[in-house]
Structure 1
Amino acid sequence: MSQNLVSFQLTTTDLTAIDGALKTLEDRLTGLIDLTIEQRRFLTKMGDKSEAFARKAVEVLGNNPNVLPGNFNIAELRRDLAAFDLLRSRLVRLDRLQERMSDTQLALGSDVMNGALEGYAFLKVAGQGEGLDTARKALSVRFAKGPKKAAVAE
């Protein structure tokens, strides 16, 4: 086999620990919400540039509560900002982990496909007359071209 981008194995103990960690995350993060596509589209977003403004506004508003209406909840605004900060560092770590998992899965799939294609090429050449005709035909379905489309008359 010519390609082997990654050799990755998980033991039963590893999988049990990973599943336990995921369960813990799911159990502890019950306050997370799931927005619809429509909700995501119309929410005011706090990007990198807006964040400095928002942080300064929370500070100024907190120092000047007398200018706010009585129903303006500065304490909730501060809690939201603190929770935002707490989630961010963990989200960065999870994003990195998710990206590495996706890359590893992509590499594993590529290793498998390249090995399968290489093996299939050997099978086509060396497998003739070895009782492998049925297996070779079954594998060839992946490369079968569909029926040609009839030319459309103008």
Structure 2
Amino acid sequence: MKCYDPDTSELIIPDRGKIPVDAESVHRIWGLPNSGLKVWYEMNADITRQMMVDYGFPPNGSPDLTSWCKMIEDMAKKSDDLFVRAWSIMAYNFLAPTTGLKVSPRCYPAVYDVELIPKMNICQFVVDQIRLAFSSLKSKKSVCCCVYHLMVSAWFF
């Protein structure tokens, strides 16, 4: 993480060079969609309330990741919109992890309309999350972003 420069969005490896951390590198490494709509990753009280109702969780607070995974497992391989949304929420929590063990309600708007999920630019979302996390690193003691991408990028280098 010390090698990442949020201003240039590059991993700078001393005596080895620079590795761009851009949407194209995310696409090359992870194979995620690299075009389309901006991911709507922010709090929305109305959507959060509706998601809690749809998935049977208490209206206050956010379910922990274990409960969310158990709920998906209990869906018994259904392939309806509830399953697609639930699985997508776990994917976003992998791509933009928090320091907590709860599902981030910021991802609910991004998956609420199942028809839009495949039209989202996930690659740019990952890059934006990395930049955002590192730009505020001075005020925090931890990083919430797709550190996985930084590690894999450095490994490929």
| Same fold, TM-score > 0.5, yes or no | no
Which has more helix, going by share of residues?
1
Question: Greater strand share, 1 or 2?
Answer: 2
Bigger-Rg structure (1/2): 1
TM-score when normalising by structure 1: 0.31
